[in-house]
Amino acid sequence: MGDQLEPDFIQALEHRPKSGITEAKGIPLIDLSPSTNSSKSDDLANLVAEIGDACENWGFFQVINHGVPLEVRERIELASREFFALSKEEKKKVSRNEVNLFGYSDFEITKSVRDWKEVFDCTIENPTVIYASDEPDDGELKELYNQWPQYPPDLREICEVYASEMQKLTYKLLGLIALSIGLPKDRLHGFFKNQTSFMRLNYYPPCPAPQLALGLGRHKDAGAMTILAQDDVGGLEVKRKSDGEWIFVKPTPDAYIVNVGDLIQVWSNDKYESVEHRVKVNSEKERISIPFFINPSHSIWVEPLEELITDQNPGKYKGYSWGKFYATRKLSNFKKLTSENIQVHHFKL
């Protein structure tokens, strides 16, 4: 959107009709085509309003006409199935650990016995720079690298192509979210130079006793935003803000599920809220999902954006280091903590 359109855009946004998504049965489904295919300020204003309403009332939404080629998604889903079909011995050759935080893990070796799944993690910036320790006064940095399995042989190339497409969608969504809270569309972009974003291949095998296990327990995402691809089996459930009910997210062909994370909750000073979600397992079918976790640089200091702070709307969080937060959360996967895992609410004023 050029600068010459901004006055018209703002006027259209202020006078647009309310979407009424709080009455919707499921999370909102949003068509992103006006962000690239339309020069009309009214169309873009309506899109931004939809994004804002979804972030405020749900914390979740699905997007279609997002620009990610279908063949890119199909390739990574197929490669994921090929990798997880390998023997456990073969997959464990690229197991993640306290030294190498990216690679394979399964529900037999993770902390939470409720998480009925296997995962393969890879970082977006290779190497990714993080703090070497979660100790507050330790400023030592370390570099993390991806490790790739021998099979399937093209997994690295497929993941890198997919990550490139996810990055394009990331910045499109960050721009729309920034506009929805009255900020320039590139206001959030600078936080993601030298990012700590990563992607995960999730495999949920059939569970013989689905009533006794969860694919993933209830939680909120600590980063800025998550973009999820899920297959046609489904399993994701979102806790609806209006009444606390758990809502099943019905798979929509070629759609991506987007949710606001803790960082956008802090940056927006609680205008947008990170929402609890979980994954239920299936007794008969396996499930593949691919979340893309959007995280800023380790050097970012997280606090409410100064443009949003007024006497009537004072800051609701004290600042914290994303790098130390991230190191604490990552390392907690491999060692027993002496206290509760760090959460964003610990910084609430």
Which structure tokens are listed for 156? 């690295």
Q: What is the pLDDT along the chain (349 residues), one digit of tens a residue?
A: 433 334 444 444 444 444 333 334 689 999 999 988 655 678 999 999 999 999 999 999 999 999 999 999 999 999 999 999 999 999 999 999 888 889 999 865 444 445 789 999 999 999 999 998 777 778 899 999 999 999 999 999 999 999 999 999 999 999 999 999 999 999 999 999 999 999 999 999 998 888 778 888 889 999 999 999 999 999 999 999 999 999 999 999 999 999 999 999 999 999 999 999 999 989 999 999 999 999 999 999 999 999 999 999 999 999 999 999 998 877 765 555 444 566 788 889 8
Third-level CATH fold of 3-347: Jelly Rolls (2.60.120)
At 118-139, the pLDDT tens digits run 999 999 999 999 998 777 778 8
What are the beta bridge partners of residue 236?
A: 279
The bridge status of strand 287-294 relative to strand 198-204 is: antiparallel
Amino acid at 260: V
For 278, residues 6+ apart whose C-beta sits below 8 A from its C-beta are 214, 215, 216, 217, 218, 219, 236, 237, 246
HEC string of 7-68 equals HHHHHHHHCCCCCCHHHCCCCCEEECCHHHHCCCHHHHHHHHHHHHHHHHHCCEEEEECCCC
- Ordered by start, the domain boundaries in the chain are 3-347
* pTM assigned to the model: 0.90
Alpha carbon 257 to its chain centroid, in Å, reads 9
What are the beta bridge partners of residue 119?
A: 105, 202
At 69-106, the pLDDT tens digits run 999 999 999 999 999 999 999 999 999 988 888 999 98
